Structure 1
């Protein structure tokens, strides 16, 4: 089931990639990223992850703001990544790789911070994704999750805009999932139009459930 789910999601975004940066979505993402970064605290010369990076909008902004920052964008869709790389004006310091958020191709303790913008709603196993974020963050590293926050809306194939459905999580649900994998909730902030930012921090101690 999982393999079929990921293949359908990848195909969906591959087909959307060429037209993804249309007039209506680009200003929206720009506004969300701008608001998100007012709450973000990370080393300006650090190494960061953009999980579900799409066509690279966040890295375009980060690269301009912080010329010493390095980072990697990860996405399931090769066609989205092709668009991101084509539009990348920051050279090798901001790169893009294809991969699954549930099995991220990075060593432990790699990133100072991680970002995820309007992508968490697509994940089949969100707690697995959070566990992977916890693994690849450095101790004390921050994870900024910005997505719609009304509680779970739809599962399965009932949502017409995305294969496999979309899933939305409340503050309490995000906090509980994070705690189970060793991510402490720092704060919640509404950004705009129902988009909720949850800031997590990697705990210094490994949760008993993970250690066992």
Structure 2
């Protein structure tokens, strides 16, 4: 069942890929990326990971802002990655690979920061994703999670909007997931409308 849902999501984003950067969601995401940058604090020569990188817009912005940054983008959709590679202005500082957030193909403590913007709502095993993020982060590394939230929620809620549904998390629910994975919440900031940035640090 989980395999089928992942394949459905993969096919959905593969179909979107050729026109994705021209669609309204992309404009919305770019505005969020711009606001997100105001809260990003990275050491020199950082190694960062963007989960659900799509066409690579966030990594492109980060690499421009931090000229000594090295970044890896990971996405489930090979067609999204094809677009990201074609538009990669910062090669070899930025690379893009196919993979799943639930089983990251990286070493323990490999990254100074992990970013995830507007794709966490699609993940079927959020606890596993948090555990994997914590595993690949260096000690004191940061996890920047930006996604839609519903302020009134005490718990997560499954919304059947896309194939397999999407799930929104309250700030309290995010903090619980982070704490369970050994990550400490160091801040919550609304970026645009209901999009909340939660910043975690690895203890």
Q: TM-score, normalised by structure 2?
A: 0.94
Counterparts of 1:63 and 1:80, CA distance in 2? 19
The alignment partner of 1:174 has SS state of helix
Counterparts of 1:148 and 1:26, CA distance in 2? 15
Which residue is 1:143 aligned to? 143
List 4+ stretches of structure 1 deviating above 4 A.
none
Which residue is 1:165 aligned to? 165
Larger strand fraction of residues: 2
How many matched pairs? 199
Counterparts of 1:117 and 1:99, CA distance in 2? 16
Deviations 1:84-135 (A, max 9, x none): 0011010111000000000000010000001000000000011110100000
CA RMSD of aligned residues (A): 1.1
Counterparts of 1:74 and 1:23, CA distance in 2? 21
Q: TM-score, normalised by structure 1?
A: 0.91
Aligned equivalent of 2:158, options 154, 163, 168: 154
In structure 2, stretches of 5+ residues that fail to align are none
Counterparts of 1:135 and 1:128, CA distance in 2? 10
Map 1:1-212 to 2 at 5 A: 1-150=1-150, 151=153, 152-155=156-159, 158-159=160-161, 162-203=162-203
Deviations 1:127-148 (A, max 9, x none): 1101000000001100000000
